[in-house]
């Protein structure tokens, strides 16, 4: 009960100096919002990446030549198929295409090798040469739909006309936004791929425990191949995003330090009126420990309000405004990437991390000033 | 690895706690050397005021310390996906065994911090600050403990090398394809079960004489039993309690029970165990305080509360862990090859 009364007094005393406290809360909330935006954005991107890879093949085999990714002979696929435990082998054909008209990058993919579930918004996937289906991002940026034509420039600098037969999207926008699906023969001709080569080979494995063994066998039989398992891709994404967000957090730590200096300054610059107030409290029987508790509750109220405001602001910034300020740094992919919406997702862990990053520094920088206020001698304080 | 947000938060938070503790220790040394309650000199007045500052700083620092134990386990759980073969926090710890020492240091620091806060609370109850010298001496021991914890934590995180794709090939060949042992081997379930319940009953019975008689030896015994029960309970969680919660005869992880799939049962479970053990330790450890006249009465009153709280929390803990054993779908007896 006593603690509640002190809390009540703390809240009313904060309210009496609302402008001063509002300034602190605003700056504090802004700092938290910046840090929380970074965490929310990376977390959303990580979730997005795991959605994207949920349907990916267990193993992708690339060929590496002179340390670079090369086209892989189709014959490799036949050799992989013979390894016990391999369920399915598919040579894949895909590539990137830069559209100078709208300054965006597309991913061009053959029609039948696609394993991800595509939700058709309209129309169907290409069934014959000369047809294509496009992701909703491409449809939006080119302002086309089923029945329209998509003109792309091929490797011989010839404009090729494809008829759009469908528009699709999938659970993860990141995956399909920039996708253009073509018939396999069209795609091979478009990129000028030599006849017995594919971009890479996807391998399905029946027993997930055998993936590493199979990868090892592929590597041993075809030393110039580079098998990559899905779990490795996921781990790499996670590590890269963690590293990026950690990097950004370290950069913005400067903002946190600046805020702590402000908090220290504000807490030290205690007004004469406030001093008198503490003096009177002590004169009417408050003990030093009570004043310290009062200051503790004040700090708590300020911290929690700011934390809540900061998290809200970060949520709005990341999930409603698309993290406009941060995306180029964190995403770090092509700047020509079409915009996409992130799936709102918050984890209690993120909130704990943010709380742990921001509250202790504030508390540490206000503890000495509040002690100084608490030990004020009532007599000198009231005399002014 | 150090640039993971959670790891950054942990490292910065613990470093800040250590800084606060060092500052407090510097003040504490002065207080321990110069403290003289009977004196009315200006120096004594200043020291009395400073003792408030030290207590406040340490209270905050140790409060964060308690929270950081949770953040540590959360972070371990979060980073397990970066290691081949790791399936939960256990795998992350096995990726660099120093992590286990960091965890032990954190648990010891948790108890030490909580005991210090209790000591400080008791000191505030008396008019003449009888425990000032004692508590500040203990503080001087607590600071190196936090330092050790920070060192172990940083060494652990720096030694972690997530296995990611390198430019030549997938990483799985660089590590010779050997995943991390994802599991802990539990102690034999049957004998562990007997020992755990026997210790539980002994502990609860040990509370009876403490509530009835003022003798100090019963309190020491109660504290010993609390420590014994805590050790056995942790071993029991790994050995058989986890099996019943996960309903799998092979899954021994003591951290997965924090996850949503298991209805967050880990929180009430560990809260009851740690809280109960803490209150169980206090009567014996603080027995000496009874000799101080200004605290004798308060101590006797508080002691009863502690014993009751310990009994309540430990009984809830036993109830929580026994529930799946008695009423769950899983019966370990159906898997005779897993009972040793």
* Nearest by Cα to B71 from B155, B14, B112, B17: B14
Contact B7 A246 (CB under 8 A): yes
Q: Is A250 in the same domain as A343?
A: yes
CA distance A240 to chain B (A): 9
Q: Please tell me the total number of residues recorded for chain A in this structure.
A: 384
| Partners of residue A150 on adjacent β-strands | A162
Side-chain-side CA neighbours of residue B324 (13 Å)? 20
Q: Is A119 in the same domain as A33?
A: no
* Residue B33 counted as domain residue: yes
pLDDT tens per residue, range B21-67: 999 999 999 988 888 888 888 888 888 888 888 888 888 888 888 88
**Pairing relation of β-strands A159-169 and A131-135?**
parallel
| CA A215 – CA A231 distance, rounded (Å) | 12
Judged by a CB distance cut-off of 8 A, whether residue A228 touches chain B is yes
**Pairing relation of β-strands A131-135 and A72-73?**
unpaired
- CB within 8 Å of A373: residues ≥ 6 apart: A270, A274, A275, A278, A291, A295
pTM for the structure as a whole:
0.82
| CA A300 – CA A294 distance, rounded (Å) | 10
- Say if CB A314 and CB A320 are below 8 A apart: no
* Residue B169 counted as domain residue: no
* Residue B179 counted as domain residue: no
| CA A191 – CA B204 distance, rounded (Å) | 78
pLDDT tens per residue, range A259-287: 888 888 888 877 778 888 888 888 888 88
Q: Is B222 in the same domain as B83?
A: no
How many domains does chain B divide into?
Answer: 2
Of A184, A201, A228, which marks where a domain is finished?
A228
> Which residue range(s) make up the domain with B328?
189-338
Q: Which residue has the higher pLDDT, A19 or B127?
A: A19
User: A107: helix, coil or strand?
Assistant: strand
CA distance A357 to chain B (A): 5
How many domains does chain A divide into?
Answer: 2
CA distance B267 to chain A (A): 14
| CA B279 – CA B102 distance, rounded (Å) | 24
Judged by a CB distance cut-off of 8 A, whether residue A66 touches chain B is no
Judged by a CB distance cut-off of 8 A, whether residue A374 touches chain B is yes
Q: Is A280 in the same domain as A178?
A: no
CA A228 from centroid of its chain's CA atoms? 23
Q: Is the pLDDT of residue B257 over 50?
A: yes
CA distance B170 to chain A (A): 5
Three-state SS for B192-244 is HHHHHHHHHHHHHHHHHHHHHCCCHHHHHHHHHHHHHHHHHHHHHHHHHHHHH
Residue that has been written with the tokens 């995943």 in this structure: B179
Contact A232 B173 (CB under 8 A): no
- For A56, the token pair is 């990916």
Residues of A in contact with B10 (CB under 8 A): 356
**What pLDDT band is residue B165 in, cutting at 50, 70 and 90?**
low
Q: Is B301 in the same domain as B257?
A: yes
- Say if CB A192 and CB A71 are below 8 A apart: no
| Partners of residue A229 on adjacent β-strands | A59
What part of A 229-288 touches B (C-beta under 8 Å)? 229, 231-236, 238-240, 242-243, 245-247, 249-250, 253, 288
CB atoms under 10 Å from CB of B51, counted, come to 21
Contact B84 A231 (CB under 8 A): yes
Of A228, A254, A280, which marks where a domain is finished?
A228
* Residue B177 counted as domain residue: no
| CA A249 – CA A262 distance, rounded (Å) | 19
- For A228, the token pair is 């990559």
- Say if CB B189 and CB B239 are below 8 A apart: yes
Region B94-104 average pLDDT: 88
Residues of A in contact with B2 (CB under 8 A): 246
Judged by a CB distance cut-off of 8 A, whether residue A64 touches chain B is yes
Chain B contact probe: residue of A42, A246, A300 with most B CBs at under 10 A: A246
Per-residue pLDDT of chain A (384 residues; tens, 9 = 90+): 888 999 999 999 889 888 888 989 999 999 999 889 888 888 887 887 777 777 778 888 888 888 888 899 999 999 999 988 888 898 888 888 888 888 788 888 887 655 556 666 677 778 788 888 888 778 888 888 888 888 888 888 888 888 988 887 766 666 677 788 888 888 888 888 888 899 889 898 888 878 888 888 888 888 888 888 888 888 888 888 888 888 888 888 888 888 888 888 888 877 778 888 888 888 888 888 888 889 889 988 999 999 999 999 999 988 888 777 776 666 555 443 445 567 777 788 888 899 988 888 888 888 888 888 888 787 877 775
**Pairing relation of β-strands A72-73 and A197-198?**
antiparallel
pLDDT cut 90: percent of chain B above it: 33
Q: Is B229 in the same domain as B323?
A: yes
Nearest CA in chain B to A220: B173
Of A174, A199, A228, which marks where a domain is finished?
A228
Q: Is A169 in the same domain as A298?
A: no
Q: Is B114 in the same domain as B203?
A: no
Q: Is A33 in the same domain as A89?
A: no
- For A10, the token pair is 């703390």
Q: Is B74 in the same domain as B215?
A: no
Q: Is B15 in the same domain as B93?
A: yes
Nearest CA in chain A to B83: A235
Q: Is B208 in the same domain as B88?
A: no
- Say if CB B252 and CB B237 are below 8 A apart: no
Contact B60 A363 (CB under 8 A): yes
Q: Is A216 in the same domain as A265?
A: no
CA B261 from centroid of its chain's CA atoms? 24
CA distance A81 to chain B (A): 20
Side-chain-side CA neighbours of residue A122 (13 Å)? 12
Residues of B in contact with A64 (CB under 8 A): 168-169
* Residue B145 counted as domain residue: yes
Highest mean predicted confidence (pLDDT) among A155-164, B169-178, B302-311: B302-311
Q: Is A215 in the same domain as A245?
A: no
């Amino acid at each position: 009960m006593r603690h509640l009364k002190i809390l009540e007094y703390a809240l009313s005393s904060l309210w009496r100096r609302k402008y001063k406290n509002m300034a602190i809360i605003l700056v504090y909330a802004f700092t938290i919002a910046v840090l929380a935006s970074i965490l929310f954005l990376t977390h959303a991107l990580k979730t997005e990446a795991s959605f994207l890879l949920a349907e990916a093949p267990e193993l992708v085999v690339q060929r590496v030549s002179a340390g670079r990714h090369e086209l892989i002979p189709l014959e490799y696929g036949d050799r992989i198929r013979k390894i016990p435990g391999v369920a399915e082998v598919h040579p894949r054909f895909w590539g990137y295409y830069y559209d100078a008209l709208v300054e965006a990058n597309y991913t061009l993919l053959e029609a039948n090798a696609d394993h991800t579930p595509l939700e058709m918004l309209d129309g169907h996937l290409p069934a014959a040469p000369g047809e294509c289906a496009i992701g909703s991002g491409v449809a939006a940026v080119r302002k086309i739909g089923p029945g329209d034509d998509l003109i792309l420039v091929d490797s011989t600098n010839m404009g090729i006309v494809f008829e759009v037969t469908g528009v699709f999207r999938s659970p993860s926008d990141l995956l399909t936004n920039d996708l253009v699906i073509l018939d396999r023969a069209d795609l091979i001709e478009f990129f000028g791929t030599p006849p017995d080569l594919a971009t890479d080979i996807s391998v399905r494995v029946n027993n997930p425990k055998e993936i590493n063994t199979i990868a090892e066998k592929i590597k041993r039989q075809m030393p110039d191949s580079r098998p990559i398992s899905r779990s490795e891709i996921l781990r790499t994404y996670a590590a890269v995003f963690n590293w990026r967000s950690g990097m950004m957090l370290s950069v913005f730590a400067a903002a946190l330090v600046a805020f702590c200096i402000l908090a220290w300054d504000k807490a030290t610059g205690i007004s004469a009126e406030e001093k008198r107030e503490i003096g009177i409290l002590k004169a009417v029987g408050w003990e030093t420990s009570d004043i310290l508790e009062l200051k503790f509750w004040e700090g708590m109220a300020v911290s929690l309000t700011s934390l809540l405001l900061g998290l809200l602001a970060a949520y709005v910034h990341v999930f409603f405004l698309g993290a406009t300020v941060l995306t180029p740094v964190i995403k770090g992919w092509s700047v020509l990437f079409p915009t996409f919406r992130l799936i709102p997702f918050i984890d209690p862990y993120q909130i704990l991390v943010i709380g742990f990053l921001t509250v202790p520094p504030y508390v540490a920088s206000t503890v000495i000033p509040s002690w100084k206020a608490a030990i004020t001698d009532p007599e000198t304080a009231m005399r002014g | 690895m150090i640039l993971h947000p959670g790891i950054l938060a942990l490292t910065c938070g613990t470093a800040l706690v250590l800084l606060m503790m060092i500052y407090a220790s510097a003040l504490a040394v002065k207080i321990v050397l110069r403290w003289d309650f009977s004196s009315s000199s200006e120096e004594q007045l200043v020291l009395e005021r400073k003792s408030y500052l030290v207590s406040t700083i340490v209270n905050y620092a140790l409060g964060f310390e308690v929270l950081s134990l949770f953040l540590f386990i959360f972070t371990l759980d979060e980073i397990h996906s970066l290691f081949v073969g790791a399936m939960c926090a256990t795998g992350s710890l096995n990726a660099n065994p120093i992590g286990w020492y960091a965890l032990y240091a954190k648990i010891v620091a948790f108890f030490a911090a909580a005991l210090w806060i209790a000591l400080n609370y008791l000191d505030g109850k008396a008019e003449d600050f009888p425990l000032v010298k004692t508590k500040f001496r203990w503080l001087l021991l607590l600071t190196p403990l936090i330092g050790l914890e920070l060192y172990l934590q940083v060494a652990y995180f720096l030694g972690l090398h997530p296995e990611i794709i390198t430019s030549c090939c997938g990483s799985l060949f660089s590590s010779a394809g050997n995943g991390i042992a994802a599991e802990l081997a539990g102690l034999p379930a049957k004998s562990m079960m007997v020992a755990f319940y026997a210790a539980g009953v002994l502990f609860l019975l040990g509370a009876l004489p403490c509530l009835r008689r003022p003798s100090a030896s019963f309190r020491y015994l109660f504290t010993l039993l609390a420590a014994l029960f805590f050790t056995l309970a942790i071993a029991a969680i790994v050995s058989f309690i986890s099996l019943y919660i996960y309903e799998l005869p092979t899954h021994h992880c003591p951290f997965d029970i924090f996850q949503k799939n298991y209805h967050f049962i880990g929180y009430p479970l560990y809260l009851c165990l740690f809280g109960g053990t803490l209150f169980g330790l206090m009567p014996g450890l603080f027995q000496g305080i009874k000799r101080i006249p200004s605290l004798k009465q308060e101590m006797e009153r508080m002691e009863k509360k502690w014993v009751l709280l310990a009994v309540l929390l430990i009984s809830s803990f036993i109830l929580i862990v026994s529930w799946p054993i008695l009423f769950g779908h899983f019966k370990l007896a159906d898997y005779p090859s897993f009972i040793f």
